């Protein structure tokens, strides 16, 4: 049985990451592919809440099984910030250069640079909601390295590696990333259902 699932995103980076992780048992469609052009609000105070808001919006409006994710960079010395505000940390838009600048500025002179990426996936199948979480621990380095990836990838060095996420080939990042870990749980769950 092939599952058709809507991934509530128009972020092509996320879509390509997910598609490279998901096998032939699943057909994944983006919001654009189902004609959803609305900007779905992410107004919840938690990653779980935002993921659910997006998935619920699509399920209610289009009646299709759907999953959505929300990801935050949580920095220990900043009390977990930027967290749920990761995409809008420095500005209202998704200006990741400004976001990175703000994080580096706030960590200037700070010794503890421990951080983690946390992704929460909310899945709605036939009206039931399931959550999956992926975490990768690491640290924030002092200056950008690498041109691959997106978001905070150029300053995030995962534990046990000497390359930032932005220096890693996508295939390598997909083996260890927070999103990969959450999506692997999602896939395992779907495989059991199929």
Catalytic center residues: 70
Whole-angstrom Cα distance, residue 192 to residue 194? 6
Q: For residues 194 and 1, is the Cβ–Cβ distance under 8 A? A: yes
Whole-angstrom Cα distance, residue 30 to residue 36? 9
């Amino acid at each position: 049985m092939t599952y058709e699932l809507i991934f509530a995103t128009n972020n092509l980076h996320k879509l390509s990451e997910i598609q490279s992780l998901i096998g032939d048992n699943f057909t994944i469609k983006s919001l654009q592919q189902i004609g959803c052009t609305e900007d779905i609000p992410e107004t919840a105070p938690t990653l779980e809440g935002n993921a659910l808001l997006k998935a619920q919006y699509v399920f209610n409006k289009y009646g299709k099984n759907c999953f959505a994710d929300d990801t935050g960079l949580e920095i220990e010395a900043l009390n977990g910030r930027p967290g749920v505000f990761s995409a809008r940390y420095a500005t209202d838009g998704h200006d990741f250069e400004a976001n990175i600048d703000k994080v580096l500025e706030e960590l200037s002179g700070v010794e503890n640079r421990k951080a983690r990426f946390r992704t929460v996936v909310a899945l709605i199948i036939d009206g039931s909601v399931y959550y999956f979480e992926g975490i990768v621990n690491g640290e924030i380095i002092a200056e950008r390295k690498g041109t691959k990836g997106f978001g905070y990838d150029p300053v995030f060095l995962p534990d046990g590696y000497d390359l930032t996420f932005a220096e890693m080939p996508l295939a390598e990042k997909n083996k260890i990333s927070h999103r990969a870990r959450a999506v692997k749980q999602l896939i395992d769950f779907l495989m059991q259902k199929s």
